Structures are given as C-alpha cells and as structure tokens.
A and B are shown apart, each in its own frame.
Chain A
Amino acid sequence: MYKIKEKKFLAEKTYLIKLFAPDIAKKAKPGNFVMLRIDEKGERIPLTIADHDFETITIIFLVVGKTTEDLSKLNKGDNLLDVVGPLGNPIKIKNYGKVVFVAGGLGIAAIYPQLKALKRENRIISIIGARKKELLFLLDEIKQFSDKLIVCTDDGSYGKKGFVTDALKEIVDKEKIDMVITIGPPVMMMAVSELTRGKVKTIASINSIMVDGIGMCGSCRVRVNNKIKFACVDGPEFDAHEVDWDELLKRNSKYKEEECKCLK
C-alpha cells in the first residue's frame, strides 16, 4: 500500500498527489515514471514522477479517463494498492547549451523535474501552453528554474495568444538553440518536431498506452527510425524527428470507445 501524504488541486481537472514511497523516491531521476494501480480491479497507468524528496514521490495527473477520475476522488490518508518504479530511462544531465522546453497539458508536470535538473549547466527557455488560463499550473515553479518563461494560451486568456509552436518558431528563427525537449499531447509534439526538423535536435517524451510498463507486452510500441521500440523500457524519450507520429496518434486513440463506456 502506498499512502497519499498530500493532495492539491492545481488547475482544472489537474491534481497533485504526494505518495509515500521511500524506495522509489531514493532512486527517482528526472524522466522516470511509475505505473500505479488504485485497487484490485484497477488498471495500471503510467505517470511521470514530477518531483520527489527522501520519502515521497510527487505525481501530477489530469482527469482524462476512469482511473484518473477515481484517483482525483482520493484524499490525503487514502492508499493506492500498487506503485511500481522508477521506470523508463532518465534524461542525461549534462551541458547542452541552450535548451528550450516545450510543454502542453500534463507535459507541464513532466518537464519540471527535467528543467530543474538541467538548470545548473544549461540556459533554459520554457514554453508552456494550454487552451485557456484555467488549465495552467506550476508556473511559479517552472519560472524559478527557467531563464525565460513564455506562456501561451489558445484563447489569449493568459500570456501570449496562440500555440506553443508560434512561440517556438520566433525563438528558433532568432537565436541558436542547442536542444528542444517537448512533452505533451502527441499532436503538439508532432507539430514541434515538424518545426525543428533539420534545425534543432529535438527530444520527445512518448506517452503511448502501456499495460505492464516493464517491457513485457509491447502495447506501447512506437516506430522510431523505422524500428519498433517500447516506450516503457527503450524510452520514454526518443529523437522526435525519428518518431512515426501518424502511427502513434492512431495507436493512442485505440481505446476511446471503451474509455467512454467505462465512465458512464
């Protein structure tokens, strides 16, 4: 059992929980994720470790389906049946130079531990986007570890009006960027990848559908450089320019129908 030590409402449909998991916390590195299962009948879902201290890990999630909805109803003191991790390959922390993070949706939570880790040796520009103001979160935290923060909303209710790619284009056209790291909805990552193709090395974090998260089922398989890779053990981060985005988009919508049925 893994106890919820803290729960916070962050933004519309977005919550933060701190889980008591000292063994995982000791090993957690930026880029790692956990698989969690709420109860006996629950499914296993992957969520990025957004932060950790010596005994807890922080998970941020967006209510998108049955499991995340159930998770949002739990409170401080409640327990999760299973949490396994830290899974996936962590990012390499080194001096890249000037790094631009481009995040949307839940990706905002996923870039946080990475930019925090890269800040010391790199110049960090963070571009984060959402449809509207109410969906934004962690702005102060991200600002604290960024040399520059640009916020975009589709409707202009906060920051710049427009997409993250608009903001990214301005920067890429103007200055020399050493690396782009993008995490968020696949459509957004695909757009970022198209924009930087041939210009800037770009890393994307692939959030394909997982079952076990430990390399045993291939549900999360993704075509990278025309080879089949498992996002859970070979990733989650891959060279964005080598990812077959069309295939990923199709595969990620696989269980839409069932998801609806389950939420009824």
Chain B
Amino acid sequence: MQVFKMKPEEQNPKERIHNFKEVCLGYTKEQAIEEAKRCLQCPVPLCEKGCPAGISIKEFIKHIVDEEFDLALKIVLEKNSLPGVCGRVCPAEEQCKKICISKPAININLLERFVADNSEKIIKSVKKTGKKIAVVGSGPAGLACSSELALMGYEVVIFEALHKPGGVLTYGIPEFRLPNKIVMDEINYIKKLGVNIKLNSVIGKLFSIDELLKKYDSVFIATGAGLPYFLGIAGENLNNVYSANEFLTRNNLMKAYKFPEYITPVKKAKKTVVIGGGNVAVDSARVAKRLGSDVTIVYRRSRNEMPARNEEIKHAKEEGIEFVFLANPLRIIGKDDVEAVECIRMKLGEPDDSGRKRPLPLKGSEFKISCDQAIVAIGQGPNPMIGKTIDLNIGKKGNIIVDNNYQTSINNVFAGGDITSGSATVIKAISDGKKTAKIINEKIKRG
C-alpha cells in the first residue's frame, strides 16, 4: 500500500523565522488527489454540517479526485467567496474535520486551499435587481455579504475605513499565515462580481448611517472587533508596550518589518513578552520572532485552555517561542521603556462563564520576566465608532444588538460578524455575512 503523504510541505523553522513567507506550502496536485481519494463520499456527509459556510464538501472533493479542479472551485465558490482565506485560517479541526468519519479526518481545509490556489475563478453574469446595498467594513463578514448580494444581482458598495480592504485579514493576520496576495486576489474576484469598494471612508465620520439609508435600500454593518483591550495594570503605557492590534497593524498593514524601506517604524526588540493565549497572541509572538526577538508567551490558564489553534501553537513551538502557562501579569516594570513583566503563578479552579477553568492566583509566587518589549494580546472588543454616532441598540460589551435575522434596532440596518458577537472566527463572520445577504434579499423581495 502506498504511504499516504497527508502533511503538506512546510518551510523549515530555522529558515522561516527570518522571513514572512508562508509557513505551510499547501498540497501539490498529487497530494491533493491522494488526499481527496481518501474521502469516503458518505451518503450523508457529516462534514458539511460542520461547515459554517455550508460548502458542498463531498462534491468538491469528488471533482478533485476526477482532476476537475475548476469545477471543484466552482462548487466551493457557490458557498464561499474566500476559499483561499478559509483554506488557511479556518479552524477546520473544530468544524468540518471534527465530524469527518475518516480516520484521520480528511484535510478538507487544505483541499479547499488547493483548489483556491490552483484554479481559475469564473465570473458568472447575473441579472441586476436595480437595488443598492451599502456594506460598512471590508473584513470577512462584509466581503461575504457583498459577494453573496452581488451574485443575487444587487449593486453593492463597501465602505472601508482603512486604505486597504480586507479588515482583519489585512491588518491582523500575518503574511506567513495568510499572504496578502491571496487576500487581494480573492477581493479582486469579489470586485469583479460587481462589488465597489470605497477606501478611506469612515462611516460615522465621512458619511452617516442616515445618509447611507437615503441612497441605499439596506445597510449592513460589519465593522468587526478592532478595539484592543488593555490589562489595566501599572506600567502598561510604558514605551514598547503594544496592543497586539498596534503591533500587527504596524507590521501587516504598514509593513514596518520592512522599515526603513516602508516608513512606518517598529522597534527591534531583543526579548518580547506576549500576554494572551489566542491566535492573535501567537501571531504577535511569531511576528516578533521574525523581527529577531526571543519571545515568551505568558498565558494565565494551561495549554489545554489556549484558544489558539493547535497548528499555530505547534508552529510557534517549532520556531523556538517559549510558553509560560498558568501565569498572570501583575504589573509592567520600567522607567521610560519596559524592562520586565511581573507575573504571579496561577492554578485552575472551577469553570467560569466561558466554561473554561477559572485561573486563581497563588499567593507569594510572584516572578519577573525581563524584556524590552511587551505585547498585550488579551482580546479585542467591537469597534465603537458607529455606535457613538447613531442611536443604535448597543450591548454591554459595545456590541451592536441584532435579532435572529441580523436586524439592528434601526429598520433596514443589519449587522453581523464580530461587531455583534465580539471577537470570533473568520468563518463565523463569513457565515453571518452570507446569512444576512439572504435575509436582506428576502426582505427586499417582500417589499
């Protein structure tokens, strides 16, 4: 029996810590076909129930087996306009792969990535409805909603606050996990569907929601969770203490890692402490590593509770990033610049609201980690900008409140993605965007 090569090639850790190129190189054609052949083509494909975008997984995999890659991509695009993105950043192990009955599970995400990277996206022409929709924010939720609406014949304009589209895909997720070229290629596909993206347009400042409602039949707010949380401990405003958002934005959106070729600066640290346990924390740690710093991630719970994807944690470990579990920062020490982070050891108690075991401090166990850079990656909240400028129903955490149909407290104004839920996943945002598109369509058709 042929030995199955399930693992795609990866850049060697020793080399990749010196560049920002993609770590996982993806499947070759042979590997993709081989992997696709393992799919049992279940009569009732459970995997599809696990896909928030509802991709016809069984069917697209069959096309890979038959080497009909363009057809495979066509099937994927029917449900997801961002396959190259999702194939890379979806937590497939928690979704489609989790309920795949093959052992080990089929690498559905890598197959999705393969077809996205290796086939031509065909543009369908659609009959125009003559109705116009405004979408606020060009992150995953906004893009998914826009492409879905464009395919239904709506004229869609996305208003993006930054100078580049993509939201968190552009400013947040680093190139070694999600190359900017992939994001821009998929956005170009969405533009070709007829979606117009207006950059540098801050809604609430340049145009109000009321103004949009005068020109458009509906508005979809998808401004994401871009508000960085801070710890509220002493020393947090010392120099070289960054929010993960700032650190990632400088490097991803502004390309500070190419300073001084690119003008935005970032400090070259020797020792970085990253505080947090999610994907954003691990991304920040790996960027710092690539900028030449030794890196320690401090997380208050244990390895098991870390919200970051296993693959990212594994990659980080291979890259020499250290983890200090069950430790919580008490204060950041330094005169002008950060010099150390003082932490306290924690133990796990009873589960809290999030269902994870609550970390409790162990008295007298304080210790210091020396560093010349600290990155706070303890989460992001919904962007408050729009809520401040219009009378919308806003939740305690700053999230826009919507009903089951993504309808906000203002008629014809919908919202979805992280702005309604707080920081979640790319695919959840895509799913929200798609569902809202359907709801907007139904509502407009009802008249």
Which residues of A are in contact with B by a Cβ distance under 8 Å? Answer: 23-24, 27, 37, 41-44, 66-67, 81-87, 211-212, 214-219, 221, 223, 228, 233, 247, 250-251, 254-255, 258-259, 261-262
Contacts and interface: CB of A to CB of B under 8 A. Distances in A.
Given A211-B249, A218-B242, A221-B237, 20 more contacts: A24-B206, A37-B163, A41-B255, A41-B261, A41-B262, A43-B264, A84-B200, A84-B202, A85-B206, A211-B246, A212-B171, A215-B383, A216-B227, A216-B245, A217-B243, A218-B245, A250-B239, A251-B237, A254-B240, A259-B265
A251 B263 contact: no
B384 interface: yes
Given A43-B254, A233-B384, A250-B239, A214 B161 contact: yes
A37 B163 CA distance: 9
A211 B250 contact: yes
Given A84-B200, A218-B243, A42 B263 contact: yes
A139 B179 CA distance: 51
Nearest to A81: B163
Interface string B252-266: 011100011111110
Given A42-B263, A228-B230, A259-B265, A86 B163 contact: no
A236 B228 CA distance: 18
Interface in B205-239: 205-207, 226-228, 230, 232, 236-239
* Residue among A81, A85, A215, A262 with most chain B CB within 10 A: A215
A141 B382 CA distance: 42
Nearest to A246: B336
B228 A217 contact: yes
Contacts of B255: 41
B182 interface: no
Contacts of B245: 216-218
A69 B140 CA distance: 37
B308 interface: no
B205 A211 contact: no
B263 A82 contact: no
A227 to B, nearest CB: 9
Given A82-B199, A211-B254, A211-B264, A23 B206 contact: yes
8 contacts: A82-B200, A84-B162, A212-B253, A221-B230, A221-B237, A228-B237, A247-B237, A262-B263
Contact of B205 (A37, A86, A262): A86
A83 B265 contact: no
Nearest to A2: B200
B263 A41 contact: yes
B444 interface: no
Nearest to B264: A43
B385 interface: yes
Contacts of B262: 41, 43
Nearest to A219: B246
B265 A216 contact: no
B263 A67 contact: yes
B384 A82 contact: no
Interface in B240-289: 240, 242-243, 245-246, 249-250, 253-255, 259-265, 267
Interface in B48-68: none
Given A24-B206, A81-B163, A218-B230, A223 B237 contact: yes
